[in-house]
Structure 1
Amino acid sequence: MTDTTTGPAGPAAGTRWTLRTATTVYQVRLAPGGGWAELAYWGPALDDPPVPGPLEYAGPTPYSTPADAAACEYAPLGVRHFAQLDLVAERPAPGGEGLRGTVWQHTGDELTDKDGGTELRVHFADDLQRLTATLCYRVHPGHDVVERWAEIGNQGDTPLRLERVRSAGFTVPTPGGALVHHLHGRWAQEFQAGRVELRHGRFTLESRLGLTGLSHSPWVAVQPLAEPDGPTWSAALAWSGSWTIDVDADAAAGTTRVGLGRLPNEAAIVLAPGETLATPPACGLYSGDGLQGVARAWHAYQRTLRRPVTPPVVYNSWFATGFDVRADRQLELARTAAAIGVETFVVDDGWFTGRDDDRGGLGDWEPDPAKFPGGFAEFVAGVRALGLGFGLWIEPEGVSPRSRLFAEHPDWVYRIPGRPMTTIRNQYVLDLGRDDAAAWVWETVDGLLRRYDITYLKWDMNRPMTERGPGPDRDGRHVANFHRILERLRRDHPHVVVEGCAAGGGRVDLATAARCDVLWPSDNTGPLDRLAVQDGFLHGYAPHLMSSWVTDDPGLFDTAPRSLAFRFAVAMSGALGIGADIGAWGEAERAEAARWVALYRSIRHVIRDGEVHRHGDPSLPVYAVEYALEDTVVLLAWRTGPARGSGTHTGRPVRVRLRGVDPAAAYRRRDDGGAHSGGHGGGQGRRDGGRHGGAALAAAGLVPLPDDAADAAVIVLDRE
């Protein structure tokens, strides 16, 4: 996995650490003099990475310093002066000028085998500032991600101010400039794919919301402008609070540096004497297969983070009933859901005391006896008797102004004494950074799970933080306690599947993905809108995480009606759920839905674990996503525009060349009895079935939508 080479004059003269992932090499060297670590090589696996590496530089640095020109792995002010910085530290002096800036030296390093992988720790210290820093690396042979973080320690006897403390910086070669890919959006329009040509200067993404946010995802990919389909590097931050990513390109120097880290709401993080701060992991990977290869590498990594649980096919009652939750109506929906093959029934917002609309109830997490006159336990037992799991929506960080919780603990919400309090969605935010508030949240959630037979929990968070005020790293304490509660949920209630949500996709990040079983990408379930959201989501996040529902919602931005087949194919792209008012569906719609659910359950393992290949994008007339696992290939295809045209005009059907097939094998198209494709309005389309050669599927492709009336298809191919 890892090897170390040391030059003849000792560490300062040429120590190199070579970290090996599944298919790549990440090589770090100690700069001459031991003042910093720098990246030498990051790319395809080589038995002997080149020395000097492509990123090393020993030439002139006019009007600059050697550290500013170097591919520094972690750069404090004091070592670097002008280029991108990861650490700005100051030790204040009572009544005088403090010591600002850090000049450190390498003091040692360790390589250890841990959890089947390898961990490298490189130590630095500034004896004058009494600061220590450990640059930490973790790699594993099962994936290509390099995890990096820093541990900053205060060895002095006075507080140490950290005005900036990032997790890591990744430097990549981009001669001529960089093509930067990112994911942006807003509520109901998350994960829109964007790209920026960056030859000189800085491109910044950030969230100041106290959570990951809807406007940007903490993920980027970088390619050389001259090779947009070639080598690609990507980085993401494992943090569920405010964050920042700076991408600095220098076409003349031929490099681009991506710096990632937390963005505390305070002006600085203050370390008390003896304290050590560990930054959240910054994760990076390399792929030689462009953005598609980057996505598959992220998916492979995220599969290693998950538990051995299979998210069930859920029915969520929100779109059917809203806040009007009544036991009899919910049981009626549950019976219908069970009949079409759903596995878990989830009651969304509105089940608890004081929750008749969005102006009350948050914080008072007791079932409303008026809505469940026979008792909540009896209601849950009724759902479970149908052979269904039972799920519940909660928003533990939300507090309604007229709740009992707020009346009893007004100091538990974010507020600045003497200042007006802001409501968003008619609610405040619980200060989860307080240990007493966090303990209350755990006791409340744990109590619900122990009193009732709950197998699924949807944890929501519907507003950003305001009026946080000053304090000892309040942002960090909130996120740390949020993570601890999720980890304890997994430990103490391993049978409960946890879905993460925050007003849609507001908490989609690697840290939440490591602690939840599925994530909700968007509140927008309109089929065409959702298809664009999910395409962007799959750039950086795996399909097993992507919760998606079939609803009757037309969408917000593209409201063109789509068939039930189209809507099911969209939702089947990840963890399938249904949120439509199935009580209002006719028998034909329910029968068709039952066929789709049965088909999904037969191919769920392929969707969950298969390699993903996206064909085109949702703006094209036909868009498809392919999943390949062992002997099965699943192709989901959608006609996103109008039909090809009338029979009086020339128009060849779109073909899709499959990338996950074995050219030497033959495949037979599975006949599932009619749930392969649907025309506009829900009618079934033509199935051609038959045998296909893998080479022909790869070279000439197949026509997923031969029928002009069909707007979606699900094609399953099994190797003979």
Structure 2
Amino acid sequence: MGSNSYNPGDIVIQWLPPGLSLQISLDDQLAPCVDHVLPAGHKPPTNVSPHFASPKLPLNGVRVAGQGHTTNKTAKSMVGGILSSRLRYQHHEERKDGATFGLDVVSCDDMLGIEVTHTFEVFADVPVLRSWTTLRNQSSGFMTIMQASSLSIGGLTNGTRSWSESYSVWTANNTWFREAQWQERSLPDVGIDDIGLFELNDGHRATMARFSVSNQGSLSTETHLPMGAVTRKDGQDTWLWQIEHNGSWRWEIGDWQDGLYVAAGGPTKTDHAWEVVLCPGETFTSVPIALCHVVDSLEEAFATLTEYRRCLLRPHVDYERLPIIFNDYMNCLMGDPTEEKIHALLEPVRGCGAEYFVIDAGWYADDSNWWNDVGAWEPSQKRFPSGFKALLDGIRAKGLIPGLWLEPEVVGTRSVVSKQLPSSAFFQQCGQRVEERGRYQLDFSQFVVRKHLDSVIDRLVYDFRVGYFKFDYNIDLMTGTDADVTRGVSTGAAHLAHHRAYLQWVKDLLSRHDGLVIENCSSGAQRMDYAMLSVHTLQSTSDQQDPLLYAAIAAACPTAVVPEQGASWAYPQRRWSDETNVVTMINSLLGRVHLSGRLDNLEPAQYELVRQAMQVYRDVIREKLRTARPFWPLGLPRWHDEWVALGLAATDGTLLLAVWRRSGSNKCYLPLPKRHRNLLTVTLLYPAKFEAQIELEEGGLSIELPPVPCARLLQISP
């Protein structure tokens, strides 16, 4: 390795891929530090006080056994570690692969013999920075890694004095039935304040203040989305990030040298019982994160991140067709399918224009007591006396592609499969299988597990011609198996290995079965992350059964998932009013349609409302979904807002706008994005003949709706 000839303060990298600029310089220990990440065409401020000019936060947040901290940041923090400051810059290399631009920054510590390669990626001209690290043990002994952050960057407050009063932090709650609900808090409210930072002396670079959000367990987005944002209150500076991992993760913000930093990554020793032992020559690669910086509003950052997420998607014919999916679960058969009930639904489903018919939970069970008996995935003969193959053939005869619900990662405690597979196939704790809610967790890092599930999927595809799977997951394990702890594999490392093996298994399935659609569902949307979504075709957004509450979820979900992947339920009911049935239909129209409900029981006028909604989706909406950018005229929806609105800005210049009135005044003003304020024509797309008074006004439009809970879908054209 050896030393280099660089000096403190040297700018060693000025990287200019399409869409953004990245500058890296060296701190006084010659560790690389990100000076700025800016959208193309923007320059860092020039009239900055020396207090703010150089955040100099080491890029690599790495911690190994026995190495603590050098600053006032404590062991609870992701930054300020001894090793991070000793990782001296060595060299860098730029790469280009088609429309993907890459940068590798290599740093080393001679004392321990560790090499860290920090990799950045930019797709095409989308100004979003993707980042991860790869650690290599170049010593002659073992090395225990306890943290490998994917990015640490200071200077988020952009040279702003009194920045703690100027910026706020955003987090997103994501609980079952209440997904993607964002909250804004001031920095002082989360314990971060710039008061007194100028008086730091004796070499202190920061206080102990920090604010963190983390997840531990198998449900990667249970409680919070793996996202965060920092915005300036004038709406002219926004940082937005996401962690792309389907397991445990953490991000934090805090003060550093009179500014704000963010650090983010996957599992750590402190939070998740994760550590990895590297033998000489071995490597470990952290999980990716994405960082978006716009000199604009949070809404613009979400739109930019939407474009970035599209670059992650595995190519699939589903994104070209965006078909309508009928699923027999929500407010319909609710896990109790039978041959008779399904036959009754087929003609109404076909008549609405659906292209998939998915049989949800229960198809494998003779009765409703199936929860802890899953795992064999053989169809019930009692529910389908004419034969399951005959039923699925009948679905195809109606022009519909059959789909099935499956929970491949678990085996019920009463299942015969729990006795057929070896103990190594399951998560273990102190020599015992881990039982959670009547299920055992399969370990996908084991070949026997992947082979078993391959045979299950192949049988259902080849024997029954299944073209769609809804992959569900309904337990949450805090960490992985301890079966290999005696060999130096931590439970956190075992968990990470399982998560990565599961993703690879899904990729292999899709490669083997061309055209197969696999939906990601985990108790609604409790794994709505872009490790899962870069592999699975689409995402269930919730299990919420109240259409008025669902409106807040459906409107917020484009913050977490691109419209062409985000599937929200539409489940009309005979007992509901026409206005309530319109609400449930509009909940699904600006994303992927998950149609459900007992369509066979609807009155003719109710059924016609459903058919019209699906016609609007097929004729007008779905061709725009793949490239549309979301916006929120009333701001991000809050759970009890009286009015909620979601818009999609299409590339042809038109706007699609869903508006829900849930309570309060029956009139609302909706500002439109500045670039679209010259639009002239408003069309009530759905329901076309229902009451709505709409007027274009300067900067937006006003809408007056009936004084009952209701919704309308508008198209606004040049």
Q: 1:354 to 1:103 in 2, by over 3 A?
A: farther
Please state if 1:75 is matched with 2:61: yes
Please state if 1:639 is matched with 2:661: yes
Please state if 1:223 is matched with 2:231: yes
Please state if 1:676 is matched with 2:669: no
Which residue matches 1:317? 328
Which residue matches 1:585? 602
Map of 1:419-568 to 2, 5 A cutoff?
Answer: 421-424=434-437, 426-465=438-477, 468-470=480-482, 471=484, 472=489, 473-551=493-571, 563-568=580-585
Q: Which among 195, 202, 218 is matched to residue 184 of structure 2?
A: 195
CA RMSD of aligned residues (A): 3.1
Larger CA deviation: 73-82 vs 461-470: 73-82
Q: Which among 352, 359, 365 is matched to residue 340 of structure 1?
A: 352
Q: Which has the higher contact order (CA 8 A, sep 6+)?
A: 2
Please state if 1:626 is matched with 2:647: yes
> Which one-letter code corresponds to 1:315 in the other structure?
F
Q: Secondary structure at the match of 2:616?
A: helix
- Contact 2:78–2:252, Cα closer than 8 Å, also in 1: no
The separation in 2 between residues aligned to 1:431 and 1:87, in whole angstroms, is 35
* Residue 337 of structure 1, CA deviation: 0.6
Q: Secondary structure at the match of 1:432?
A: coil
* Residue 121 of structure 1, CA deviation: 0.6
Larger CA deviation: 575-584 vs 438-447: 438-447
Please state if 1:139 is matched with 2:122: yes
Which residue matches 1:609? 627
Which residue matches 1:209? 217
The separation in 1 between residues aligned to 2:134 and 2:434, in whole angstroms, is 36
Q: Which among 594, 602, 626 is matched to residue 611 of structure 2?
A: 594
Please state if 1:714 is matched with 2:713: yes
Q: Secondary structure at the match of 1:270?
A: strand
The separation in 2 between residues aligned to 1:159 and 1:272, in whole angstroms, is 5
- Contact 2:251–2:262, Cα closer than 8 Å, also in 1: no
- Contact 1:414–1:465, Cα closer than 8 Å, also in 2: no
The separation in 1 between residues aligned to 2:596 and 2:211, in whole angstroms, is 39
Please state if 1:271 is matched with 2:271: no
The separation in 2 between residues aligned to 1:527 and 1:460, in whole angstroms, is 22
Larger CA deviation: 187-196 vs 377-386: 187-196
> Which one-letter code corresponds to 2:152 in the other structure?
G
The separation in 1 between residues aligned to 2:589 and 2:154, in whole angstroms, is 38
Q: Which among 365, 378, 384 is matched to residue 372 of structure 1?
A: 384
Larger CA deviation: 453-462 vs 190-199: 190-199
- Contact 1:221–1:233, Cα closer than 8 Å, also in 2: yes
The separation in 2 between residues aligned to 1:262 and 1:147, in whole angstroms, is 18
* Residue 466 of structure 1, CA deviation: 5.3
Deviations 1:16-50 (A, max 9, x none): 323345543222223456x3111112223237767
> Which one-letter code corresponds to 1:162 in the other structure?
I
Q: Secondary structure at the match of 1:474?
A: helix
Which residue matches 2:135? 152
Larger CA deviation: 49-58 vs 354-363: 49-58
Which residue matches 1:93? none
* Residue 125 of structure 1, CA deviation: 1.9
- Contact 2:253–2:260, Cα closer than 8 Å, also in 1: no
- Contact 1:623–1:638, Cα closer than 8 Å, also in 2: yes
> Which one-letter code corresponds to 1:317 in the other structure?
D
Which residue matches 2:700? 701
> Which one-letter code corresponds to 1:210 in the other structure?
S
* Residue 129 of structure 1, CA deviation: 1.4
Please state if 1:163 is matched with 2:146: yes
Larger CA deviation: 15-24 vs 43-52: 43-52
The separation in 2 between residues aligned to 1:529 and 1:238, in whole angstroms, is 28
* Residue 531 of structure 1, CA deviation: 1.9
- Contact 1:526–1:553, Cα closer than 8 Å, also in 2: no
> Which one-letter code corresponds to 2:285 in the other structure?
A
- Contact 1:198–1:249, Cα closer than 8 Å, also in 2: no
- Contact 2:402–2:465, Cα closer than 8 Å, also in 1: yes
Which residue matches 1:44? 39
Larger CA deviation: 699-708 vs 454-463: 699-708
The separation in 2 between residues aligned to 1:407 and 1:55, in whole angstroms, is 68
Q: Which among 664, 670, 673 is matched to residue 656 of structure 1?
A: 670
Map of 1:387-406 to 2, 5 A cutoff?
Answer: 387-406=399-418
Larger CA deviation: 526-535 vs 9-18: 9-18
- Contact 2:17–2:122, Cα closer than 8 Å, also in 1: yes
> Which one-letter code corresponds to 2:655 in the other structure?
V
* Residue 122 of structure 1, CA deviation: 1.0
Deviations 1:56-88 (A, max 9, x none): 9788xxxxxxxxx62322134569622454697
The separation in 2 between residues aligned to 1:160 and 1:386, in whole angstroms, is 61
Map of 1:56-95 to 2, 5 A cutoff?
Answer: 70-76=56-62, 81-82=70-71, 83=73, 84-85=77-78
* Residue 495 of structure 1, CA deviation: 0.9
* Residue 348 of structure 1, CA deviation: 0.5
* Residue 323 of structure 1, CA deviation: 3.2
Deviations 1:513-544 (A, max 9, x none): 21122111221132222222234332243222
Q: Which among 200, 219, 240 is matched to residue 234 of structure 1?
A: 240
The separation in 1 between residues aligned to 2:528 and 2:260, in whole angstroms, is 29
- Contact 2:692–2:705, Cα closer than 8 Å, also in 1: no
* Residue 300 of structure 1, CA deviation: 1.0
Larger CA deviation: 45-54 vs 333-342: 45-54
The TM-score, its normalising length taken from structure 2, stands at: 0.85
Which residue matches 1:331? 343
- Contact 1:705–1:711, Cα closer than 8 Å, also in 2: no
Number of residue pairs aligned between Structure 1 and Structure 2:
661
Larger CA deviation: 124-133 vs 356-365: 356-365
> Which one-letter code corresponds to 1:230 in the other structure?
Q
* Residue 382 of structure 1, CA deviation: 0.8
Larger CA deviation: 701-710 vs 327-336: 701-710
The TM-score, its normalising length taken from structure 1, stands at: 0.84
Deviations 1:154-189 (A, max 9, x none): 223432111122211132432422411011142222
Q: 1:228 to 1:170 in 2, by over 3 A?
A: farther
* Residue 467 of structure 1, CA deviation: 7.1
Q: Secondary structure at the match of 2:57?
A: coil
* Residue 102 of structure 1, CA deviation: 7.8
Which residue matches 1:246? 252
Q: Secondary structure at the match of 1:544?
A: coil
Please state if 1:107 is matched with 2:90: yes
Aligned residues with identical type, % of pairs: 20
The separation in 2 between residues aligned to 1:167 and 1:518, in whole angstroms, is 26
Q: 1:542 to 1:249 in 2, by over 3 A?
A: farther
- Contact 2:524–2:540, Cα closer than 8 Å, also in 1: yes
Q: Which among 13, 16, 33 is matched to residue 17 of structure 1?
A: 13
Deviations 1:444-485 (A, max 9, x none): 223322333222211111111157443322111111111101
- Contact 1:87–1:166, Cα closer than 8 Å, also in 2: no
Consecutive unaligned residues of structure 1, counting only runs of 5 or more, are 1-7, 60-68, 90-99, 645-652, 678-683
Which residue matches 1:122? 105
Q: 1:27 to 1:685 in 2, by over 3 A?
A: same
* Residue 51 of structure 1, CA deviation: 8.1
- Contact 1:169–1:260, Cα closer than 8 Å, also in 2: no
Q: 1:355 to 1:447 in 2, by over 3 A?
A: farther
The separation in 1 between residues aligned to 2:173 and 2:50, in whole angstroms, is 30
4+ residue segments displaced more than 6 Å: 50-59
* Residue 588 of structure 1, CA deviation: 1.5
> Which one-letter code corresponds to 2:556 in the other structure?
G
The separation in 2 between residues aligned to 1:622 and 1:636, in whole angstroms, is 11
- Contact 2:23–2:37, Cα closer than 8 Å, also in 1: yes
The separation in 2 between residues aligned to 1:20 and 1:148, in whole angstroms, is 16
Please state if 1:29 is matched with 2:29: no
* Residue 715 of structure 1, CA deviation: 1.3
> Which one-letter code corresponds to 2:644 in the other structure?
Y
The separation in 1 between residues aligned to 2:384 and 2:81, in whole angstroms, is 56
The separation in 1 between residues aligned to 2:143 and 2:152, in whole angstroms, is 22
* Residue 153 of structure 1, CA deviation: 1.1
